[in-house]
Amino acid sequence: MTEEIRVRFAPSPTGKVHIGNIRAAIYNWLYARHVGGKFLLRVEDTDLERSTPEAIQALFDCMEWLGLGLGDEPVFYQTKNVKRHLEVVERLLASGDAYKVERTSRDGKTGVVTMFRMPKEGTIEFDDIVKGHMAKKAEDIPDFAIVRSDGSPIFHLANVVDDIDQRVTHIIRGDDHVENTFKHICLFRAIGAPIPHYGHLSMIVNAQGKPYSKRDGAAFVGEFRDAGYLPEALFNYLLLLGWNPGDEREVLTREEMVSLFDLEKVHVTAAKFDLKKLQWMNGEYIKRLPRDEFKAAMRKSVEGLEGAAGRDEAWWDRLCDQMQVRTKFLKDMPGNIEYFFRDDYAFDPKAVEKRLAKDGVKATLLDLADRFEKVATWDAVSLEVVVKELSQGQGMGPWVHPVRVAVSGRTEGPGLFELLELLGREHSLARIRAAAAKYCP
């Protein structure tokens, strides 16, 4: 029987979960699912000041929100394993792999710290699943502390002992840990435990190629959640930051991700964060929402507006057809559909300036309103015929643009003729004439 593959996500909770960190969780999760292994969650909560219950809860919330769950085994807390950390230190002291030294800290206090004795010759090597062969001379790494003078274990030791105790077979983490890995391999050896496989993920960088940080914009999962991103869209986008399925596909179902994900195909080069692409991805996920879900969100957003009452189901369906493919964020509603439901809709001053406040527009609008008034059936096809005839193959822009601003106050929205059909004869004509009188010279 082959050994079960066990991976873990081991964050130090601080209250905010950086997208680079959660991307590591996503890669671990997908890898475990792909190989039929276990995904474990370890909370490295030894920094007692930052790892508050609230910070840990914020971490859990992010993981649940993204559909990662909290791991396939009970959550492992680093602080609960301190006894084991210190037992291992005793063994390392006994075998001569560790020793104690007196140290004076910056505040002048003298205490005893425990140091790990690095091998003094040879090369430390490992084959990184992402980065390839890595090597460093042992003599280039000085001995390092593993227990503080107050008796508390230090990251390197706690991290390695916990990985041993959780029987982790593959460590997939950010490449800010590469230098640590050389030390950790020596610790695994000295303790006498098998060395896990490693895969170090490149950083997420900004447009200048520097590590992506909060100075570059939203950097924490909670900020994207609050900004209206769908968890599936953020998940899919972060997955593509450093991996792709090897073809043109970008929007993938969770099943496709699980079946296609492969650690060996993770990119070595740093991944550039691209907000535009993430916004596009969100729109793609909104298009794929069940129609009823989108329709319900749309209706709820305009609940209480006078014009929303008394519309039939077919009308809402038609509005849904127009809006679901054009919506990037659910929270852009009601803003981008409000004009359907109130006659005192807002006019975007820039749109007015560009499309209405021009010579000749008034005559165009009034003439068009008169022609529209004569159509037998108020539907998109009949209205389009009117403008087509007027434009005589020269492009419908000079009619379409001002009418759109007149009836909606904005430059973007559904196809104009569908919009007019949805708005209805009476409202459309009244709006075109009123806007012509109010905004056109």
Q: Where on the chain is the footprint of ligand GLU (CB under 6 A)?
A: 10-12, 44, 159, 173, 177
CB 212 within 8 A of CB 19: yes
Report the nearest approach of ligand GLU to the CB of residue 11 (Å). 5
State residue 153 phi and psi, 5-degree precision. Answer: -65, 150
Pick between residue 81 and residue 159 the one whose CB is nearest to ligand GLU.
159
Pick between residue 51 and residue 114 the one whose CB is nearest to ligand GLU.
51
Determine the Cα–Cα distance for residues 122 and 136; give it in Å rounded to an integer: 9
* Listed residue (215, 225, 212) closest to 330, CA to CA: 225
Pick between residue 199 and residue 413 the one whose CB is nearest to ligand GLU.
199
Report the nearest approach of ligand GLU to the CB of residue 73 (Å). 17
Determine the Cα–Cα distance for residues 86 and 98; give it in Å rounded to an integer: 12
CB 433 within 8 A of CB 369: yes
- What contacts 285, CB < 8 A, 6 or more positions away? 230, 232, 233, 236, 251
Q: Check residue 172 and report its DSSP letter.
A: E
Determine the Cα–Cα distance for residues 410 and 113; give it in Å rounded to an integer: 68
The CB-side HSE value for 247 (13 A sphere, CA atoms) comes to 6
Report the nearest approach of ligand GLU to the CB of residue 316 (Å). 47
Pick between residue 141 and residue 366 the one whose CB is nearest to ligand GLU.
141
Largest CA distance in the chain: 99
Report the nearest approach of ligand GLU to the CB of residue 339 (Å). 48
Report the nearest approach of ligand GLU to the CB of residue 167 (Å). 15
Pick between residue 12 and residue 52 the one whose CB is nearest to ligand GLU.
12
Report the nearest approach of ligand GLU to the CB of residue 30 (Å). 16
Pick between residue 161 and residue 319 the one whose CB is nearest to ligand GLU.
161
